[in-house]
Structures are given as C-alpha cells and as structure tokens.
Amino acid sequence: MNRSNREDNNRQSNNGNREQTRGRSRRQRGRRRHSSTNKGGNKGEKFSERLNEAREKAKTRFSTSPMPLGFPSIIEPKPVDISINWPTKPIRQNVERKVCDLVTIPGEWGFLDDDAVEIIAKRLEPHKMTVEQGLSLRKALMQEKAVYGHHKMMARANTFRKRYDEGETVLQLSRRFDFPPVAIFRAILTSRGWSKVKIRDSLRQPDRKMSKRDAREFREAEEKDRVTNVDQGDTAIKADLFEVVVGNYLDQHGVNYRRQEDLLKEQQKEHGRPLNTPDFLIMDNLEINGEPIAWIDAKNFYGANLSFTKKKTKKQMNRYIDEWGFGAIVYRHSFCDALNIPGVLKLDQAPLDISIMNPDS
C-alpha cells in the first residue's frame, strides 16, 4: 500500500471514528434528555398520586375501620357537610427571591430596632410585601443559615474560646464570624469540654451555675439572638393566640373539631407519648376551596419556600396526611405561591379577625 492510500485510509478511519463519536454523543444526549424527562415525569406522577391518596383518605376517614387516631368511637354530633370559600393573598416566588437580600443584615441575628425596621419597610414597598412578612422571612432565612452553618461554626469552637478568653465578647464574635450569638456561646462551652447536659442546665440557671462574666455574656447574647435563644416564651404566646383566631373562624362557620390539647392528653394516656397532634382535627365533612380538609395547623409566621423550612414542615405534615389525609396550613403572614406540599392546602389570615393579636391597634 502506497503512502497516498495509507493517508486516505487514515482519513477515512478518522472520519469514521469522528462519525461514530458524534453518533454516540447524540445517543447519549438523547438518553440524558429521556432520562431527565422521565425523572420529571416520575416526580409529577408521585406528586399527583400522593395528592389523590390524601384526598381519598380525607373523604373516607369517617367510614374506615379501625377509626383514625383521635376519633371517638361515636362521633357526636354526626359529621355534616360544610363548604368554605377562603380567599388568600400569596407572595409570588420571584418577589420572595428578591426580598431575601433586602431583609437580612450580615452579622445581625437579633431583633431590629425601629430605625432598622423602617429601612426594611421602605425596601419592601416596591415589592408589595408587608414589613411583618419581611421580618418573618428574615427569621426563616436566619434559621436556615444557622442550621446549615452549624458544622462550620463548631469547627471554629476552639477559635471562639481562645478569643473569648482573651477578652473578646460573644457579640463581637457573632458580628465577626456571622453566627448566632447563643450558638457561639454554646460552642465556647463545648470547647471547654462541657457536656450537653451541663450546658443545658447552666443555660437554664446561668446566675447559679456560671461565672459572673459567662452569665452576663449569655444574657447579652440572648437579647441579640432571635434564632437560637433559649427563651421562646413570647413566640409561644403569639402562636397560641393565632390558634385562637383560627378557632374563632371555624366556630363562625359551625365546624366541629378537636383541639390539640385534647389529642395530646388522650395520646399521652393511651400511648405514653404524643403521636400526631394537629391544632385542629376536623370532625365534619369540611371542604375549603373545594378540597376535603381533615385537619388544620396554624402557623404564626410566613410560609417561605426555603429548603430548611419546607423540609421541616413537610416532615410534620406528612404524619398528619398518613393518618387522616388531606389537610390545611393557615399561615399568619401568608405564604410563597411556590411552596407546595402534596396533600396540604395553603391558607392565610386574609379572612380572619386578628384584632386580639394587636390589642393596641
């Protein structure tokens, strides 16, 4: 074979290899597209399947045997059909995304003073989001940041302790490293070799079980920490008030329900611990906005479409759905329209009388 023929054969071979490579690439791209489509399709199918199962479970819950958790052997009065049209005012996802950067301040983890709140309020005006919604979203963002940054923070525990021992305050460390003050204080105690039990007991009685400086630093940290502070009393009081608001609305529509407190006592007695305790277990054939509602949970915050918040809420709601079927969450400060949990209807405060939550207004 002469040189010319060898070169021609090499060109043909190379061209053939390139064609084969192109062919394989096209087939691989096709498979990837097909695989991606299938994944999306499967996800959509699972969502629809979960949705339908939840609806069916809610509709048939009074005729199932054995009766679902929390149902008395004889339901009196008997369930009646009730339909409610509940208007909502959700926040669009693109608005929530824009606002996330407007409501957070690096290194700041506490409650904001009036001037800072006013600044945030002005930032929110063009986006038609209330300052209450913005501040609630801010808290959710800080919670997510604290949770996902925990391991990174603990890796610096020895650094925090060294700086603290050299005279730097917890609040200074918080601003410098952008972690929650109380979490940093816990990290310092952990770095000293304190056990979780010792830390817990000391934080409950700081004046008795800590040095004067530690007790002072802890109290100052708590005052400037809205995320990981120990005292959540005020938050619990407001949450209870919002449950009263939702209960009043259900009462106005003649809805029969069982309260969380009753379920808690009952399950504690029968099972030794609480199992599933929604705020309201509905004892009627209630439909809200066309969906069958077996239970309702009241959330005294904004329903953000954030990874941590969504994961936490979904885990809790799935237990209710598995037991009773389709239900609803009422968000005090509305919700993001992209927040979707199959088997859960999102509602907000739009039709509610919340005057008891604002006694000074």
For 124-168, give the secondary structure using H, E and C.
Answer: HHHHCCCHHHHHHHHHHHHHHHHHHCHHHHHCCHHHHHHHHHCCC
- pLDDT for 231 equals 56
Kindly state whether residue 32 falls inside one of the protein's structural domains: yes
Domain count, the chain: 3
Token pair listed for 155: 């890796």
- pLDDT for 41 equals 61
Closest listed residue to residue 112, CA positions, set 136, 88, 94: 136
Same domain as 213, residue 119: yes
Closest listed residue to residue 293, CA positions, set 305, 302, 301, 283: 283
User: Is this prediction's pTM over 0.75?
Assistant: yes
Query: DSSP class of residue 307?
Result: H
- Give SS3 for 213: helix
Residue after which a domain boundary falls, among 162, 191, 223: 223
Kindly state whether residue 305 falls inside one of the protein's structural domains: yes
Domain that holds residue 185: 93-223
- How far is 173 from 185, CA to CA, in rounded Å? 9
- How far is 186 from 198, CA to CA, in rounded Å? 11
Kindly state whether residue 109 falls inside one of the protein's structural domains: yes
Q: Yes or no: say if 117 and 131 are a contact pair by the CB < 8 Å rule.
A: yes
- pLDDT for 42 equals 76
Q: Which positions of the chain have pLDDT values less than 70?
A: 1-41, 229-233, 359-361
Same domain as 111, residue 216: yes
Kindly state whether residue 249 falls inside one of the protein's structural domains: yes
Kindly state whether residue 71 falls inside one of the protein's structural domains: no
Residue 277 CB neighbour total at 10 angstroms: 23
Same domain as 290, residue 219: no
Same domain as 246, residue 272: yes
Same domain as 238, residue 344: yes
Residue after which a domain boundary falls, among 202, 223, 244: 223
Same domain as 274, residue 154: no
Kindly state whether residue 336 falls inside one of the protein's structural domains: yes
Same domain as 114, residue 3: no
Residue after which a domain boundary falls, among 197, 223, 249: 223
- DSSP tally for the chain: helices H, then strands E: 14, 6
Same domain as 253, residue 201: no
- Give SS3 for 58: helix
- The H-or-E segment that residue 176 falls in is helix 170-177
Kindly state whether residue 128 falls inside one of the protein's structural domains: yes
Distant-in-sequence contacts of 190-196, Cβ < 8 A, 24+ apart: 190/154, 190/157, 191/157, 191/158, 191/160, 191/161, 192/161
Q: Quick one: CA torsion of 143, 98, 102, 312, rounded to 10 degrees?
A: -10
Same domain as 216, residue 236: no
Helices (H), 194-284: 196-204, 206-209, 212-223, 233-252, 260-271
Same domain as 296, residue 320: yes
Strand partners, 329: 297, 346
Kindly state whether residue 193 falls inside one of the protein's structural domains: yes
Same domain as 122, residue 157: yes
- How far is 84 from 89, CA to CA, in rounded Å? 16
Same domain as 188, residue 105: yes
Residue burial 298-336, b: 16+ Cβ < 10 Å; e: rest: bbbbbbbbbebbbeebbeebbebbebbbbbbbbbbbbbb
Token pair listed for 87: 């208007």
